[in-house]
A and B are shown apart, each in its own frame.
Chain A
Amino acid sequence: MFDKYLINAASVHNTGPQDAPDGFAFTAKLGYYRGLGLSMIEELTVSVGGTALAREAVRFDEGNGPLTLDQMETAFDRRWAFGTEATILVAHPGGFPAGEHKLALRQKLRVSYLPFPAFNNDEKTVAL
């Protein structure tokens, strides 16, 4: 319902030493009309140039400190609030590749009243 608004393309930046970045980060919103507990966010799949990065490379921080996706599964006291940006940190040696590339985010949510998982997809062209 909000797919095209998920990734904040202007927020993409490299992390780690400036001359040898070890990853990149960006902010994004949850594609849902309400907030959701972090334990119900099953996957945050980040792709660069059409290639999905490893689940272990992704961490999430809604403002209370970064968590791996495995740690999110038991973060029962934390929520991704409606319409708010969280930071998604990606371990990626060299940082976001130079030049223009597609950055994609796929969110897989466990929404209790749906018989199947909910998927949200956004893709933005980013040039660092």
Chain B
Amino acid sequence: MLQRWASLVMAGTVKRGVSLYSFQEELFLGQMTVEDCVAFAASIGANGIEILPEQNIATFPNVSDAEVGAWQEMVARHGCELTCYDMFLDTKLRRDHVMSDDEQVESIRRDLVLCNRLGIRNMRVLVFVRPDILARCVPYAEELDVHMGVEVHAPWHIEHAWILRTVEEADRLGTRHLGLLPDMGIFMKHYPPVWRARFEREGACPEIAQFIVDQHEAKIMAEYTIYEVAVKLKGNPTEVRMAETLRHSPYSNPKRIRDYIPYFRHIQAKFYEMTPDARDPSLAYDEVIPELIAGGWDGYLSSEYEGNRWVQDVEAVDSREQVRRQHVMFERLLGETGRETA
């Protein structure tokens, strides 16, 4: 049994998990507790739990040992494990000046310590954090054995010059505790239907909405489309806002992700909508996951549902159903469907 498990891991097995970010609608409205989210994740075989301490722990940053213990006990009770800690950095804490470099390092160190206390070995670092600040945090990350993964979030992409600065820092320091953390929103192959529908409800005419979708489909650079909509088509403010979303909708080349596998240990599996037959109409998971498998990557795909804000004006949000469908897709793409369970 143990040998079989070990051989699976050696072969590189992509694992399935969930970020509590996915349930923000129900958590915000008090319709689910954190434990409800964990129990649900366990029920669909997504046993890796990513947390946002500033969302999920009301006493943050003064979290007691008793609270840490209660979290670990609760997660273990459901057969899950904590996979990732999403940090924030309030560089604009004060109105009159930006945090000094020393203050930034101290704030990140605070998060590394809490991450370590929770028994979590991956920390999601906001993409705007400066690579040279992170370099100064590497000794703490190594001591606490936490990997700092800079979130590769749209409109950045995996080979954006800003992202490559972090890769260069990691190489320069020869550390395995600084790297990346891809957010799958960078693989937007098709314009999300839920975005389009929301803009149409807010007053975008179907013809201009279709034009914007077609321009994205053709991968025309955003500024051309924005000018066309705003000036030539005399688009209304909603249509211009819809065109401007193209600035944040890159389709990064899925074939390049394999080259960066040494730099990331966790993935935020962003999505906006899953169809009833468990397909993502927008993000190219069917192209990315085969690359991860081929590269032997063995981290967690951590669901990050962000569709609530696009549909809450017309329907009750059902984050559980959306996450469930995404995991049906993962099982299919990971070849789990029909696999004998050990």
Which of B54, B93, B94, B313 lies in contact with A82, CB distance below 8 A?
B54
A34 touches B128 (CB 8 A): no
Over the window 66-88 of chain A, the binary record of Cβ atoms lying under 8 Å from chain B Cβ atoms (1 yes, 0 no) is 00000001001001011110000
A1 touches B308 (CB 8 A): yes
Which of B21, B52, B55, B90 lies in contact with A37, CB distance below 8 A?
B90
A42 touches B28 (CB 8 A): no
A33 touches B21 (CB 8 A): yes
Q: Which residues of B contact A29 (CB under 8 A)?
A: 28
A119 within 8 A of B: no
B92 touches A1 (CB 8 A): no
Q: Which of A1-39 contact B (CB under 8 A)?
A: 1-2, 4-5, 29, 33-37, 39
A73 touches B55 (CB 8 A): no
Within the complex, the shortest CB–CB distance from A52 to chain B, in Å, comes to: 21
SS class, residues of chain B in contact with chain A: loop
In the bound assembly, the distance between CA atoms of A5 and B312 in angstroms comes to 10
A35 touches B28 (CB 8 A): no
A112 within 8 A of B: yes
B260 within 8 A of A: no
B126 within 8 A of A: yes
A73 touches B128 (CB 8 A): no
B27 within 8 A of A: yes
A34 touches B127 (CB 8 A): no
| A79-B60 contact, Cβ under 8 Å, with A37-B93, A39-B95 | yes
A110 within 8 A of B: yes
Q: Which residues of A contact B338 (CB under 8 A)?
A: none
B105 within 8 A of A: no
A33 touches B24 (CB 8 A): yes
Q: Which residues of A contact B313 (CB under 8 A)?
A: 4
Which of B28, B60, B93 lies in contact with A2, CB distance below 8 A?
B28
B54 touches A35 (CB 8 A): yes
B140 within 8 A of A: no
B128 touches A113 (CB 8 A): yes
| A113-B93 contact, Cβ under 8 Å, with A34-B54, A81-B58, A82-B28 | no
Which of B24, B54, B60, B92 lies in contact with A112, CB distance below 8 A?
B92
B93 touches A35 (CB 8 A): no
Chain A residues proximal to chain B, CB less than 8 Å: 1-2, 4-5, 29, 33-37, 39-40, 42, 73, 76, 79, 81-84, 110-113
14 A-B residue pairs with Cβ-Cβ distance under 8 Å, sorted by A, are A1-B308, A4-B313, A34-B54, A40-B92, A40-B93, A73-B95, A76-B93, A84-B58, A110-B92, A112-B88, A112-B89, A112-B91, A112-B92, A113-B89
